[in-house]
Copies of this chain bind each other. A is one copy, B any other.
Amino acid sequence: MKKVAEDDPRRIVHSFKVGLAITLVSLFYYFDHLYVGFGSSAMWAVLTVIVVIEFSVGATLGKGLNRGLATFLAGTLGFGAHHLANLPGRELQPILLGIFVFILAATVSFIRFFPRMKVRYDYGLLIFMLTFCLISVSGYRDEEVLEMAHKRVSTILIGGFTAIFVCIFICPVWAGEDLHNLAANNLEKLASFLEGFGDEYFRKSSEPESNKASLQAYKSILNSKQSEESLVNFARWEPPHGPFRFRHPWKQYLKIGSLTRQCAYRIEALNGCLNSDVQASPETCRNFREAFIKASSETGKAVKGLASAMRTMTLPTGDCPQTAKSKNAADNLKSLLRTGLCEGIDIVEILEVATVASLLLDILACTEKISESIHE
């Protein structure tokens, strides 16, 4: 429990915010003169707050807008269906309504499978179906559908605005900021692996396993796709805030993310070499060893430079010196490999590593391009 709070202290603040928002809304029940206005529909305000309020501003706004819009549309349509079913007379009404409900429910359920709809409007579609069924069906009992719909929409608006207000104005959690930090953190994790990898690989087995655990931080990148996608989706609902202006290119983060993951896949392959039986012996040709460690750590430094440039959103001016250095080191390593300077050593696994390192360099260049495109 302590760990959950320590991992992200904003979680505690969020819990209090939820409590506050619900207590605010239940004021409708406590004070008589407000109650008279809305009747038992006030329940819908409480319900809306609980369902809509989410950890980040983007998620709350997305759900709130989805709910508001879907309720309004479904309310209108439900009223129309109810009116239409009333025309042929009371006998046919239940049958007509049943057919309407069946068709609408089946259609909406099918639309929810569309990938694009699922990502942004899944909740709205659910609420659309829900409201339509409730209004058109309950209309059979209650002739005052219009008044009920009006009350319900207003209470949902009140609930939704309370949730959004509390979410934005009390210690807001911006999904865009989280996304930005996640992308920078992931780059830093790559960098710290690359910086530490060379030493670890040529470490004598007698030496203590100092920082092997810290090398494993990159593993979390491998499965980061889903959380990145949902953060991008939330961020697109958010208004401009902090350094993020209107129409911030959120989709670029997906590109950076996928490139970062491609790096991470290669690193996972590298990591396999750390644990394989045929490790490089510490006695391998010194020239080669130095060139290798240098290439790895310089690449690490270049990625770290990228990460900090991204974090502070400053455009790297021209060719970054770190990148040039890492390119140099890699070229050096490549030519060493080609000239076969170190004949006689067990080259199987060293070559593997070198190739992956050069792969990484390609990706590094690619990442840099994209990172620049963001800062434009």
Contact of A352 among B50, B102, B140, B355 (CB under 8 A): B355
Interface of A is mostly: helix
Besides A262-B268, A269-B269, 4 more A-B contacts (Cβ < 8 Å) are A4-B110, A15-B109, A266-B272, A272-B359
A215 within 8 A of B: no
Shortest distance in angstroms between A326's beta carbon and chain B's nearest beta carbon? 18
> Contacts of A141 on B, CB cut-off 8 Å?
29, 35, 40
Is A69 interfacial (CB-CB < 8 Å)? no
B contact residues around A22 at 8 Å (CB): 101-102, 105, 133
A205 in contact (CB, < 8 A): no
Q: How does the 8 Å CB contact mask read for A257-294 relative to B, with 1 for contact and 0 for none?
A: 00001100110110011001000000000000000000
**Interface-located stretch among A168-176, A179-187, A222-230, A299-307:** A222-230
| Range for the number of chain A residues in contact with chain B | 35 or more
Q: Which residues of A from 13 to 35 have beta carbons under 8 Å from B?
A: 14-16, 18-20, 22-23, 26, 29-30, 35
Task: Mark the stretch among A59-67, A190-198, A244-252, A343-351 that contacts chain B.
Answer: A343-351
Binding site for B on A (CB under 8 A): 1, 4-5, 8, 11-12, 14-16, 18-20, 22-23, 26, 29-30, 35, 40, 43, 46-47, 50-51, 94, 97-98, 101-107, 109-110, 113-115, 126, 129-130, 133-134, 137-138, 140-141, 222-223, 225-226, 261-262, 265-266, 268-269, 272-273, 276, 337-338, 347-349, 351-352, 354-356, 359, 362
Q: Give the Cβ gap from A114 to chain B, nearest Cβ, in Å.
A: 6
Q: Judging by beta carbons under 8 Å apart, are B276 and A269 in contact?
A: no
CB A340 to nearest CB in B, in angstroms, measures: 9
Collect the chain B residues with CB atoms within 8 Å of residue A265's CB: 222, 265, 268-269
